[in-house]
Amino acid sequence: MSQLIDRGATFSSYGRTAARRSSAIGAAFLGGVTAAGLGLGALTVAVLLLWVASPYPDSGPSRALHLAADLWLLAHGGDLVRTTSPPGLPAPVAVTPLLLTVLPVWLLYRAARHTLATAIADPDAPGPHPSAPRHSADMLPPRTLLGALLGGYLLVVAGALLYASTGQLAADPLSVLLYVPITTVAILTATTWHILGPAGTWHLLRPTGTSHILGPAAAALLPSWLRHSRPRAAARLRRFRSRCRPPARVRRLLRALLRSLRRLLLRSLLGGRLAAAQRAAGAALLTLFTCGALLTVLALVLHGDRVYQDLLQLAPDWPSRATALLLCLLLLPNAAIWGASYGLGPGFTLGAGSTIAPLGATAHPAMPHLPLLAGVPAPGPGAPLTWTVAAIPLAAGVLLARHLARTAAAPSPAPNVTATSTAPLTTDPAHPWTPWTTACTTVLAACLCGTLTAALAALSGGALGTDALATFGPSWWRTGLAAAAWTALTGIPTTLALRAWHLRARRKAGDATTGTAGHADGDATPTGRGAGDATAAGRDDATATGPGIGDGQSDEATT
């Protein structure tokens, strides 16, 4: 009986630790399931409302539910397959509505932020009992919780894929299995970068052993061949390195080079340059997107009659028109990216090798009567009015330079990072960037802007069919290269000029402040020759005043 009552502290603490870890993993897994369920449920409610409002529902709600699952998978980058009237000729649908992507991105971001907040909590915070502190061994690594979150999310994706893999409009299993996990991992990585920073993200994602990833308790459950695979591979790698080891002088040179590169990389990451480049690239990308949206709206306004006629031909009744307008709203960010690509110069294609660009538009196949496509320019050479869209990349480059010039002229104090640590040790004084550093940071910001623009261009286009409609939208590599080139060529001289102007303004302000302080000190306490003159003047005043006073006193005495 005493053996059952008097349990040791080791057993109870181990049980509490295991229960706490299991609950944390379960909460992260449930968070992934909840995020996926909320996104899928929101789309299901919207599609069911449109199905109820339709005056001629051709089938039951099963087709509406099937369409909701298709749209949810399409929002993650998965492709759909539409069965045409000739049997055996499926047509792909690979254009992702970017506005539809906002919902899963936001839900995944919130779930990942909550999971990371749970993972990076204070390890010394009190546990369930005030006398039982929570040690670092009780805490799960963030990668384990993020893996549980990813597993819960992909479980719902697998269920939606099984449900939507059949029908006239079905999900393509290969593209869903390839692109949806990539999209999910990219969102989780971006969230981790935003919350933990570059050093924390690298520490979280760097390759380590299975015991570091899963924890010792979970790693012990793996098969023996999987647990011992990494030590065996490490031993083989050591034997290979011992056979192919270079001379000692070459090894020292390589170590010094790698140490210098690592120090330079850490200084660029933690010294504020990468953050400044990210802000500048974001400003340039937002400028391109806004100008592309304004260009799209302007084209639709100029072709208002054609837009109205296409809407009437596409949807004869009001519920159908509302559905068509909602579809155009979901595709409006895609049209904004197309407009930005048009302003950058490469333009976009409408199938069959056609090109719609400022310098000219070639013939393209007949398009569906979608109101959003009514503003496409007619085939023909370019005009001076279409050439004015070159102001779009110029504005993006100027705004990129404006954001970088302020930081280059007055940067924040940069942390001093050693070559063997990733944490800031001391803080260097804030000095203006050199022209070379400013130009390199501008090039980095331009490359970031080009990369993001290329990714958005790849997501905004795709295939809408076969043969003539196999390629639809802007070319991602041409658009990204044009964005990087325009912002770099415009941003580098503008950034250097604005930096020089800011430094000159700061120098003038400093001289004015120094001059004002000098005048104030001179008026308060005169020194040097001025002090001697003031003393001599005081003596003269005393001499001049003395006889007068004496004369006055003698006159009074005489009286």
For residue 542, what are the CA distances in angstroms to 444, 538, 539, 547? 74, 6, 5, 9
The predicted pLDDT at position 159 comes to 96
The predicted pLDDT at position 233 comes to 66
Question: Can you state the angle between helices 61-75 and 9-53, rounded to 10 degrees?
Answer: 120
In a domain, 294, yes or no: yes
Domain extent for 398: 273-513
Both structure tokens of 351: 């199938």
**Statement to judge: residues 173 and 313 lie in one domain:** no
For residue 230, what are the CA distances in angstroms to 202, 213, 236? 20, 13, 10
- Chosen domain end from 189, 210, 231: 210
Q: N- to C-terminal Cα distance for the chain?
A: 126
Tally of domains within the chain: 2
**Statement to judge: residues 279 and 205 lie in one domain:** no
**Statement to judge: residues 317 and 197 lie in one domain:** no
Non-local (6+) Cβ contacts of 451 within 8 A are: 480, 484
Q: Are strands 80-83 and 356-357 parallel, antiparallel or unpaired?
A: unpaired
The CA-based angle 391-395-398, given to 5 degrees, is 135
In a domain, 223, yes or no: no
**Statement to judge: residues 88 and 175 lie in one domain:** yes
In a domain, 559, yes or no: no
Number of C-beta neighbours around residue 18 at 10 A: 12
For residue 525, what are the CA distances in angstroms to 79, 264, 512, 518, 538? 81, 50, 20, 11, 15
Task: Judge whether 365 and 245 are in contact, CB under 8 Å.
Answer: no
For residue 222, what are the CA distances in angstroms to 18, 29, 215, 297, 472? 17, 20, 11, 57, 47
Number of C-beta neighbours around residue 213 at 10 A: 14
The predicted pLDDT at position 36 comes to 97
In a domain, 490, yes or no: yes
- Chosen domain end from 187, 210, 233: 210
**Statement to judge: residues 317 and 169 lie in one domain:** no
In a domain, 444, yes or no: yes
User: pLDDT tens, position by position, for the chain (559 residues)?
Assistant: 445 444 444 445 555 666 677 888 889 999 999 999 999 999 999 999 988 887 766 667 888 899 999 999 999 999 999 886 556 578 889 999 999 999 999 999 999 999 988 776 544 444 443 333 344 445 677 888 898 999 999 999 999 999 999 888 999 999 999 999 999 999 999 998 888 876 666 666 554 544 444 455 445 545 565 556 656 666 776 776 676 777 777 778 888 887 777 676 666 555 568 889 999 999 999 999 999 999 999 999 999 999 999 888 888 888 888 889 999 999 999 999 999 999 999 999 988 788 999 998 988 887 778 888 888 888 888 888 888 999 999 999 999 999 999 888 876 554 444 433 444 433 344 578 889 889 989 999 999 999 999 999 999 998 888 777 788 899 999 999 999 999 999 999 999 999 999 898 888 877 677 766 555 555 544 544 444 444 444 444 444 444 443 443 434 334 3
Listing DSSP states for 343-361 in one string gives HHS--BB-STT--EETTEE
What pTM, to 2 d.p., does this model score? Answer: 0.76
**Statement to judge: residues 183 and 322 lie in one domain:** no
**Statement to judge: residues 199 and 279 lie in one domain:** no
**Statement to judge: residues 18 and 109 lie in one domain:** yes
**Distance (Å, rounded) from C-alpha 283 to C-alpha 29?**
36
The predicted pLDDT at position 95 comes to 92
- Chosen domain end from 513, 532, 549: 513
**Exposed (0-12), middle (13-18) or buried (19+): which is 434, by Cβ within 10 Å?**
exposed
The CA-based angle 426-429-434, given to 5 degrees, is 120
**Statement to judge: residues 199 and 343 lie in one domain:** no
User: Torsion over CA of 390, 391, 394 and 398, rounded to 10 degrees?
Assistant: -170
The predicted pLDDT at position 232 comes to 67
The predicted pLDDT at position 42 comes to 96
Residue 515's Cα: distance from chain center in Å? 46
Which strand (E) or helix (H) includes residue 58?
Answer: none
Listing DSSP states for 177-202 in one string gives HHHHHHHHHHHHHHHHHHHHHHHHHH
Number of C-beta neighbours around residue 283 at 10 A: 20
Question: For tokens 């509490």, what's the residue?
Answer: 16
**Statement to judge: residues 172 and 283 lie in one domain:** no
In a domain, 526, yes or no: no
Nearest to 371 by CA among 430, 330, 423: 330
- Name the 3-class secondary structure at 85: coil
In a domain, 544, yes or no: no
- Name the 3-class secondary structure at 217: helix
**Exposed (0-12), middle (13-18) or buried (19+): which is 502, by Cβ within 10 Å?**
middle
Question: Can you state the angle between helices 98-119 and 173-205, rounded to 10 degrees?
Answer: 40
In a domain, 338, yes or no: yes
Which strand (E) or helix (H) includes residue 395?
Answer: helix 391-409
Which strand (E) or helix (H) includes residue 389?
Answer: none
Task: Judge whether 487 and 445 are in contact, CB under 8 Å.
Answer: yes
**Statement to judge: residues 159 and 64 lie in one domain:** yes
The CA-based angle 411-412-415, given to 5 degrees, is 120
Non-local (6+) Cβ contacts of 47 within 8 A are: 64, 65, 67, 68, 71
For residue 165, what are the CA distances in angstroms to 89, 94, 129? 16, 15, 51
**Statement to judge: residues 196 and 288 lie in one domain:** no
**Distance (Å, rounded) from C-alpha 298 to C-alpha 379?**
18
